């Protein structure tokens, strides 16, 4: 029987004994993947639906070919083949913050260098290294100055991309974000400094970009992108750079770009891995061709839960900026129909082909979706401002838990975070059972008369509490606000992260 290698992506490695690749025997791709799941039972629910079908948000490649366009799971194998599992990755978590809508079109009515085809002496010096390139030259620099690029998200990906696009001489940069700078952002979001902590990101970003290149006009959209405003916001721009950090917004950006006939430069990061592509339905596939549906909310942890190597968003963001400049100049081969995978630990790049799905609901000739939809509902997450999992399970406030822990009958305290988070800080007397291990360790909790679960912010513990309640456990609560709320309201010596 042929022997092939299965490449296991970072999000699934905890369920495969930490292995990045596994050698298995199998005659077909489907048989190989099922053998993988049988030898690693925790992978089963991540790869297959309860009725045994391969999940739609998991794409399987044989070498560099999407098996959906070969013989699907029946695709035969030969010795030495490489089978890659490529799940959808959001790259982060939606921010809980919201702000009043504010748009800045500073300089809109003022004379601006973009209005002239001539370059000043200062501009010729600034862009001299571009002008020396035959592929750019004066004509290409004019294209850059006339270009309008919209960056969705001014975080890990948007920060480096915006700096290099401004430095390259892009005439107008639109920024969509509604967050404030947090100290934890500075590990990777190089657009900001320590002095910016607490400030609206777009205020700080506009100052930094304009200081780098006064010739770039920065248009800020300080609001949450939604089905109600996306088409209006995207419409004036030539190219969209997708630096989103959650699946509802990622599908929204893709769909709006397709409906407006605009290219979307895609990037995502997770721990030590990143993905880059260009989706342009006029010339190739869209994001839905690669991932027809999103993963269930609890299957893909966010960067806030799983972490991310600080330099990784910089590298992926710069690749997005590179693709954007190439599209503007009309030079080179854009990543249309190609998915670039980067592994920082192995320092390797791999390229996979992405085909246009002839049955895509959005971009195929037989498309059934003609407009924007309810994306939180599509992705199975609460809409902004709606009730969350934490609102639907019993919870305990930090002060009340402090008193209960000091009582004669304290609750059984369970930390559902990852081992690395446990080493940062944990509550005395807690028992570490990571949320992903909970289904296999339920027996450890059956004798507890009272259970309190906690995590960093209260989201994972609420989901874990709901899981236990559905199994029939009684008297299960989640620590409201998690360990960070405990630090703020009970014990400041416990570090927040």
CA distance 259 to 232: 12
Q: How far is CA 356 from the centre of its chain?
A: 22
- CB contact set of 254 (below 8 Å; sequence gap of 6+): 242, 264, 266, 279, 286, 287, 288, 362
* Catalytic residue flag (residue 303): yes
- Element (DSSP H or E) covering residue 104: strand 102-104
Residue found by looking up tokens 């657009």 in the block: 191
CA distance 49 to 84: 19
* Catalytic residue flag (residue 455): yes
Marked catalytic residue, from 286, 360, 379, 455: 455
Q: In sequence order, what DSSP letters do the residues of 432-466 get, joined into one string?
A: E--GGGGGG-GGGGTT-SSEEEE-SSSHHHHHHHH
Residue found by looking up tokens 């194998």 in the block: 77
CA distance 194 to 323: 30
CA distance 169 to 114: 10
Q: 38 has which bridge partners?
A: none
- CB contact set of 42 (below 8 Å; sequence gap of 6+): 14, 15, 16, 436, 440
- Tokens encoding 140: 């290409």
Marked catalytic residue, from 286, 289, 303, 363: 303
Q: What angle is formed at CA 105 by the lines to CA 101 and CA 106, rounded to 5 degrees?
A: 125
CA distance 223 to 101: 5
DSSP for residue 296 = P
DSSP for residue 75 = -
CA distance 106 to 388: 38
| Catalytic residue list | 303, 455
């Amino acid at each position: 029987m042929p022997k092939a290698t299965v490449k296991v992506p970072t999000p699934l490695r905890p369920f495969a004994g930490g292995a990045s690749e596994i050698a298995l025997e199998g005659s077909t791709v489907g048989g190989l993947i099922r053998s993988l799941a049988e030898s690693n039972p925790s992978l089963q629910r991540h790869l297959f639906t309860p009725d045994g079908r391969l999940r739609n948000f998991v794409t399987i490649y044989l070498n560099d070919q999407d098996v959906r366009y070969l013989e699907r799971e029946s695709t035969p194998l030969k010795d030495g083949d490489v089978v890659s599992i490529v799940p959808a990755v959001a790259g982060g978590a939606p921010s809980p913050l919201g702000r009043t809508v504010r748009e800045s079109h500073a300089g809109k009515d003022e004379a601006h260098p973009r209005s002239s085809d001539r370059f000043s002496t200062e501009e010729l010096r600034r862009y001299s290294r571009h002008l020396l390139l035959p592929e750019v030259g004066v004509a290409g620099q004019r294209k850059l100055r006339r270009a309008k690029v919209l960056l969705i998200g001014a975080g890990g990906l948007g920060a480096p991309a915006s700096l290099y696009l401004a430095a390259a001489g892009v005439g107008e940069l639109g920024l969509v974000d509604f967050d404030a700078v947090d100290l934890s952002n500075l590990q990777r979001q190089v657009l900001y400094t320590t002095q910016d902590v607490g400030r609206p990101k777009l205020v700080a970003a506009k100052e930094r970009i304009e200081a780098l290149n006064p010739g770039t006009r920065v248009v800020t959209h300080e609001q949450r992108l939604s089905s109600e405003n996306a088409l209006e916001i995207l419409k004036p721009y030539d190219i969209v750079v997708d630096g989103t950090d959650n699946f509802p917004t990622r599908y929204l950006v893709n769909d709006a770009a397709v409906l407006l006939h605009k290219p979307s430069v895609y990037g995502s990061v997770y721990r030590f891995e990143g993905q880059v592509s260009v989706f342009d339905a006029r010339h190739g596939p869209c994001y839905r061709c690669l991932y027809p549906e999103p993963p269930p909310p609890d299957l893909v942890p966010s960067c806030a839960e799983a972490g991310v190597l600080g330099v990784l968003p910089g590298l992926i963001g710069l690749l997005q900026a590179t693709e954007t400049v190439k599209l503007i100049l009309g030079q080179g081969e854009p990543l249309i129909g190609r998915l670039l995978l980067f592994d920082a630990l192995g320092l390797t790049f791999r390229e996979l082909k992405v085909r246009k799905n002839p049955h895509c609901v959005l971009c195929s000739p037989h498309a059934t979706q003609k407009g924007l939809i309810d994306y939180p509902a599509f992705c199975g997450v609460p809409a902004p401002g709606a009730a969350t999992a934490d609102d639907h399970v019993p919870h305990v406030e930090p002060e009340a838990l402090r008193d209960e822990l000091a009582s004669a009958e304290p609750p059984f305290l369970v930390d559902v975070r990852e081992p690395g988070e446990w080493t940062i800080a944990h509550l005395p007397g807690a028992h570490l059972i990571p949320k992903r291990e909970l289904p296999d360790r339920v027996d450890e909790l059956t004798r507890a008369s009272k259970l309190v679960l906690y995590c960093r912010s209260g989201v994972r513990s609420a989901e874990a509490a709901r899981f236990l309640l559905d199994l029939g456990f009684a008297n299960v609560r989640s620590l409201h606000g998690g360990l960070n709320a405990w630090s703020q309201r009970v014990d400041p010596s416990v570090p927040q992260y």
